[in-house]
Amino acid sequence: MTTRPDPRPEHHPTPADLAGTSSSARPAAGAAAPAAPRAATGQRRDTGPQPTADRPHLVRTAAELRALTRGTGPRVAVMTMGALHAGHAELVRAARERAGTDGQVVVTVFVNPLQFGAGEDLDRYPRTLDADLAVAAAAGADVVFAPPVEEVYPGGEPQVRISAGPMGEVLEGASRPGHFDGMLTVVAKLLHLCAPDVACYGEKDAQQLALITRMVRDLNFPVEIVGVPTVREEDGLALSSRNRYLDAAERRTALTLSKALFAAVDRLAAEAALRTRAAAGAGPEAAAARASGLAALGEDREAADALALAHAVTSPPRTAAVARAAAQSVLDEAAGLRPPLELDYLALVDPRDFTEVDEDHTGEAVLAVAARVGTTRLIDNVRLSLGARA
């Protein structure tokens, strides 16, 4: 879903955050890029007023949505809680690309009461439907489905809900017990009501994306889940509605989240290059002899490089430890800034179940971080590939 605006003093990520943003990409122009022109869909509308260039078809009930002609291509859904921004627009553009000119892009706008816990004011959450329609249209949406609460939860709050299980109790789930149950319940209901072929969610809220992917697989939902990379601002900060609450000094501190993650990316790249050089060299004995000779000549930097090559041949690649250490070093320094970065967690997890990976893990992993700067809580992550010996 998407990064939702963060009523003060604090709100944790919501399913709407999933439609928002995320990515392991470096600062990209995506955050500031102008909205793509709305793609033609080549499909006929059977009910209700016709959409215009700046206003997609607005429907309020599942019956109205079912009555619309779907087109010959796939229906692709983007789920939000409204108050759309550039991150949501990027999701809609990704959905438009998946749908093609013959498919249909449906953006849901629904403020889910099950996601609001104690101290979170549901009534204060911004409702900006007219502005949302304009953002959705400019990014390529055909339909905005904005149901009332009674349409999604007829008869009141559901007695039967989706449980996130152990995967929903760690990291973000530990900070907000029960939140992921409410998120999965509304996502399941909206998937049933919209009946999409594909649904797009942002990678920034990686744990929520992983839970939705797992729910769809475990419960046999006939839909493909697609993760869309995080949109970043020019300075590298992951795009979020919460960024507006940061003053200049707080923003400088907040930048250490992305700096820590990219320090891990850079360190892994350096380790991989070192192992490649070592594999192409003359072997550990020759490298060690060269290091000894260089040290005797006082060439300390070259000797250290030769010794590192020798170790790269003989030692296992411990990339998990390297990634953690590189990120943690940056975060430790940020604790001394003014204002300081107050770290909640730094975790290197398996994207399939969000359990911490072992030191000898190879393959995909997610390096996730959450921290508070002043009164604002921020999250970010990057995807890493932890490799075996070259």
- The candidate with the shortest Cα–Cα distance to 367, out of 382, 380, 355, 377, is 382
What is the per-residue pLDDT for 227?
96
Q: Show which residues are catalytic.
A: 88
Burial class (CB in 10 A: 0-12, 13-18, 19+), 174: exposed
Region of 119 (left: φ > 0; alpha: ψ -120 to 50; beta: rest) is left
Give the C-alpha separation, 257 to 21, whole Å: 15
SS3 string of the chain?
CCCCCCCCCCCCCCHHHHHCCCCCCCCCHHHCCCCCCCCCCCCCCCCCCCCECCECEEECCHHHHHHCCCCCCCEEEEEECCCCCHHHHHHHHHHHHHHCCCCEEEEEECCCHHHCCCCCCHHHCCCCHHHHHHHHHHHCCCEEECCCHHHHCCCCCCCCCCCCHHHHCCCHHHHCCCHHHHHHHHHHHHHHHHCCCEEEEECCCHHHHHHHHHHHHHCCCCCEEEEECCCECCCCCECCHHHHHCCHHHHHHHHHHHHHHHHHHHHHHHHHHHHHHHHCCCCHHHHHHHHHHHHHCCCHHHHHHHHHHHHHHHCCCCHHHHHHHHHHHHHHHHCCCCCCCEEEEEEEECCCCCCECCCCCCEEEEEEEEEEECCEEEEEEEEEEECCCC
Model pLDDT for residues 183-235, shown as the tens digit of each residue: 999 999 999 999 999 999 999 999 999 999 999 999 999 999 999 999 999 99
Model pLDDT for residues 52-101, shown as the tens digit of each residue: 555 689 999 999 999 999 989 999 999 999 889 899 999 999 999 999 99
Identify the residue with better confidence: 121 or 199: 199
Written as one letter, the residue type at 309 is L
Q: pLDDT confidence of 289, banded at 50, 70, 90?
A: low
Q: What is the value of pTM for the model shown?
A: 0.77
Most confident of 27-31, 109-113, 326-330: 326-330
Give the C-alpha separation, 58 to 387, whole Å: 48
Q: Phi/psi at 68 (nearest 5 deg)?
A: -75, 145
Give the C-alpha separation, 89 to 136, whole Å: 7
What is the per-residue pLDDT for 28?
43
Give the C-alpha separation, 184 to 198, whole Å: 16
Q: pLDDT confidence of 305, banded at 50, 70, 90?
A: low
What is the per-residue pLDDT for 30?
38
**Bridge partners, residue 376, by sequence:** 373
Helix 319-334 vs helix 248-279: crossing angle, to nearest 10? 160
* Cα atoms in the Cβ-side hemisphere of radius 13 Å centred on 14: 28
- The candidate with the shortest Cα–Cα distance to 260, out of 12, 30, 22, 24, is 24
What is the per-residue pLDDT for 33?
39
Question: Is the distance from CB of 141 to CB of 84 less than 8 angstroms?
Answer: no
Q: Tokens standing for 184?
A: 């999965």
